Structure formats: structure tokens, C-alpha cells
Amino acid sequence: DVKVTQSSRYLVKRTGEKVFLECVQDMDHENMFWYRQDPGLGLRLIYFSYDVKMKEKGDIPEGYSVSREKKERFSLILESASTNQTSMYLCASSSRGAGANVLTFGAGSRLTVL
Amino acid sequence: AQSVTQLDSHVSVSEGTPVLLRCNYSSSYSPSLFWYVQHPNKGLQLLLKYTSAATLVKGINGFEAEFKKSETSFHLTKPSAHMSDAAEYFCVVSEPYNFNKFYFGSGTKLNVKP
């Protein structure tokens, strides 16, 4: 069974802390994504990566950075967490083949910043 | 740019009755269309996808959707609701030649009454 695994399901951090959210996929997908999901705002793209060491900003990159040192792993970094970054974070991956590029999602990481 | 409109934010049905979740899209191209389901505190799971083959698409758990180009719609249906169908459903559109662009609807929460 193919999987996208997010290392932490629930995290509680304090304002100003550095936060790492890890995501690993076992499907050999080229593309990986980080979204945040908030009530009433839907899913918003933070960053995506189409190859190792490659990244592009999504719609809301401010306050976040990412790292993709290996094809299977895509990390989201909050350099200095703030309360407005309390949210559900969803990692996804997709292939770059022809046809529909289906997003496969992880189970999500719910972050609370106090 | 593409957009996705889910016409109902909440739908409530009784167990055993039909389900209809509505989705309209705008697109300059022949899009790929998807429905995802999200149970509480979980990631998004693919229900079905349309990729320019048959216009009636069958998915998992008895769901199906019909692509109607003339109406730019991709409504999700199920003949008989089950309690386990209670979740949030997202309609998603992707651009055929842009692997990193996915447009999410705002979601429809389905409540199933006993």
C-alpha cells in the first residue's frame, strides 16, 4: 500500500520555537507539496518541490521554508513559530507522468502554537 | 486561471437516502477532476478521478461522478448513504499541462442522520 507518512500527528509548540514537520513518501514521486488547512479557508499551498533540492513558493510561503535533500523526504520548517501558524498541515505527493497527476496525502500534522 | 465552486457547504441526508454533492468548475482547458474525502483529523483520500475517458466515473465506497462539459459540472453522487460516509468532501481540478497546479473547492460537509 502506497503511503505518505507525516512524522507527527499532533504537536504543541511555543511562540518563537523552531518547528520541523517531516514528510516521507514511498512511491518514488517527483513532486511533493505542503498545504495548510484552516476552517473556512480550505487548503492553501505553502511550498512544493518538483525534484531534489528544487522548491517553489506556493500561495502562502511567508514564515515557512522547506528542504528536500532526498527524493522521498520533504520537510517544512517554521523558523520562529507564531500563534497564527496554528493549523493542520498536509503533505502530499504526485508523479510527473502523463495523464492525471493524482495527489496522495499524508494523514496530516495538527500544530498548535501557544 | 481555474476555479472550483462547491455549491453547498453542508449537506444533511438520512441513512439509506441518495447523496448529491455539487461541484462546478471554470477551466480554459480540458481539466482533470477529482473528488477527495476527509474524515475528521485525517488526510484527504481519493474517491475518484476524471481524466477525459468515460464521463461517468465510478469510485470507491459506491460513489460516482458525472463529468458534464456543457454544464462545467462534476457532481458526486451515491445511491444510498451510510453513516460512515459522514465526512468532508473536496472537489479538485488540475491543469492538464501543469503538474503542480491543483485547485481545491471549499469543501462540503456531509452529515448522515440515522
Q: State pLDDT tens for residues A90-104.
A: 999 998 766 557 899
**Residues from A in contact with B at Cβ < 8 Å:** 4, 6, 31, 33, 40, 42-43, 45, 48, 50, 56, 88, 90, 92, 94, 96, 99-108, 110
B60 reaches A (C-beta below 8 A): no
CB atoms within 10 A of CB A42: 16
Using an 8 Å CB-CB cutoff, list chain B residues near A110.
41
Cβ of B42 under 8 Å from any chain A Cβ? yes
Q: Between B32, B36, B100, which is nearest A100 by CB?
A: B32
Question: Which is it for the CA torsion B62, B7, A33, B52, positive or negative?
Answer: positive
For the stretch B73-91, what's the b/e string if a residue is b when 16 or more beta carbons lie within 10 angstroms of its beta carbon?
Answer: bbbbebeebeeebbbbbbb
pLDDT for position B101: 79
According to the model, what pLDDT value does residue A13 have?
Answer: 97
How many whole angstroms separate alpha carbon B60 and alpha carbon B102?
Answer: 21
Interchain CB distance below 8 Å, B32 and A103: no
Domains of chain A and any CATH numbers? 4-96+105-113 (2.60.40.10)
Tell me the per-residue pLDDT of B30-66, one tens digit each, with 9 for 90 and over: 788 999 999 988 889 999 998 777 889 999 999 999 9
Identify the sign of the CA torsion B59, B5, B101, A32: negative
In this prediction, residue A45 has a pLDDT band, given cuts at 50, 70 and 90, of: very high
The residue whose grid cell reads 513559530 is A81
What is the C-alpha separation between B11 and B23, in angstroms, rounded? 13
A62-70 LR contacts (CB < 8 Å, sep 24+): A64/A34, A66/A34, A68/A32
| Model pLDDT, residue B41 | 82
Residue spans of the domains in chain B: they are 3-113
- What residues of B are in contact with residue A104 (Cβ under 8 Å)? 46
Provide the percentage of residues in chain B whose pLDDT is more than 90. Answer: 71
pLDDT for residue A21 is more than 90: yes
Query: What confidence tier does B73 reach under pLDDT thresholds 50, 70, 90?
Result: very high
Q: How far is B97 from chain A (nearest CA, A)?
A: 9
Q: How confident is the model at residue B1 (pLDDT cuts 50, 70, 90)?
A: low
Residue A39 or A62, more confident:
A62
**What is the rounded distance in angstroms from the CA atom of residue B14 to the CA atom of residue B39?**
18
> What topology is assigned to B3-113 in CATH?
Immunoglobulin-like (2.60.40)
A20 to chain B, closest Cα gap in Å: 19
Whether the pLDDT of residue A38 is over 80: the answer is yes
